[in-house]
Structure 1
């Protein structure tokens, strides 16, 4: 049995969110100069190699990692995450890190809203109220009807919806498959799909940008490794609120490196979304303890 160490788990989650924020910054830089499909494809090549390496070191090797009674759902999960990454990176290009992550922060609310129809879980009126309040925060960020609304703002919202569905399907397949199996299918199916698309968008990359590309691949592997370690040493409910720090780190990078700014309506909207999201996490934890 894995020994629980909440303090270490929190520290690892903070490190993980920082690594993923750096990854987002690198993705934005590369996608501004090259095809999003090509950038994500190369990233997935490294990710798939990492996943396969991990699988070969486990008992049973690749055969055990790939074994599943629900290949269609596992495959769909992998495709969904790959396309979500493409959508989110596109959002970084058109909206920047600050506003993309501000809207993407709604994904825990979407998870709560969709957990009923997807997983058959009960969502009480308190969480529905928090979800509604959270989407008021989204409207404040998007400013519909004020003459400055950009349809690009819907890009990270679509990514949040896709990521929420991916998370719910991950919980669904976990009823029968191990996390190692889900991890294997995520990396391999995503790599196959992105190669089929991205290879048509190949273009020459400069030597410095190849350096950034390699760094992007390394941060991806490092982030997934630390995330695995997070859940090995601590309960998900105790560390999940700290995942919101990716918004803080990514926004800081956006401001310091890319010269982005935080508009007042975005700051207010994010505060509302974060409060609503943290409440839904707390209520989910309370319900789990009651049951």
Structure 2
């Protein structure tokens, strides 16, 4: 029986820092590509490249086969993840990078609510308060009534809920399939799910655009790898707060690369959401029970 790797908090923080930086590369490239490509086409190319990068895992899955009874779960997850990434690509091309990042922090909150509704997980008073605080943080970011809520904001909110649904389906697959196979088959199902929509809106692409989308896929794959290594060598309660730096990097990227203003309300709201989700995760660790709520950043493209 293989032993668990020894705990190394500093290494965990370093891996999570690397993960955050790679995901900022993802957001930066997608923002740079802008609205020249339809969201469905960009997402299709990203996951198409992902299939190429994950080919070894897919070859293993092809030889072993999918365990009986898991086909519907895999299909449902692929469908909802298809919706999630399309909405994310749409939002990323239209609203500031920092706002996409801050709203995306709602993913774990949506998972917590979904777990309670679908799996009957108990929501203690403290968790309900933390969820309320996180939603308050979202209101600080969006400021409804004080400014116009753009379609990109609604798309990112939809992406947060959709990514949460994908994560819940993934939880039901964990332990029944190897982790690499779960990620690989997700790339296949999402690529197939996006195909008809991408064909419907397809526009000619330049070699540079194809190349940049390969960078998106490579950076996303590297980000998930770094995150997995972080969770393997350090408690989530240690690595979770590091995810806050993604909002800092995203704000700096938006300011220096795209001329986006620094919005203190976005920084404040993102901090409030992160604080609430970190508290929920810490409580899960303290109670030593199987967590349903994912760490910040686990629901990524």
TM-score, length of structure 2 as denominator length: 0.85
Aligned to 2:295: none
1:125 and 1:78 mapped to 2: Cα distance?
A: 33
Q: 1:267 to 1:224 in 2, by over 3 A?
A: closer
Contact 1:24–1:89 under 8 Å retained in 2? no
- SS of equivalent residue, structure 2 residue 131: helix
- SS of equivalent residue, structure 2 residue 194: helix
2:66 and 2:233 mapped to 1: Cα distance?
A: 25
Aligned to 1:4: 6
| Superposed CA offset, 1:246-282 (max 9, x none) | 3332222112111112223223222221211111111
Aligned to 2:44: 41
Gaps spanning 5+ residues in structure 1: where? none
- Determine whether 1:271 maps to 2:271: yes
Shift of 1:243: 3.4
Aligned to 1:70: 70
Q: 1:64 to 1:242 in 2, by over 3 A?
A: farther
Equivalent residues in 2 for 1:109-258 (5 A)?
109-146=109-146, 148-258=148-258
Contact 2:244–2:271 under 8 Å retained in 1? no
2:210 and 2:23 mapped to 1: Cα distance?
A: 19
Bigger helix fraction: 1
- SS of equivalent residue, structure 1 residue 81: helix
Shift of 1:184: 2.6
- SS of equivalent residue, structure 1 residue 204: coil
Gaps spanning 5+ residues in structure 2: where? 292-301
Aligned to 2:107: 107
Contact 1:98–1:250 under 8 Å retained in 2? yes
Contact 1:112–1:280 under 8 Å retained in 2? no
CA RMSD of aligned residues (A): 2.4
Shift of 1:122: 2.0
* Number of residue-to-residue matches in the alignment: 288
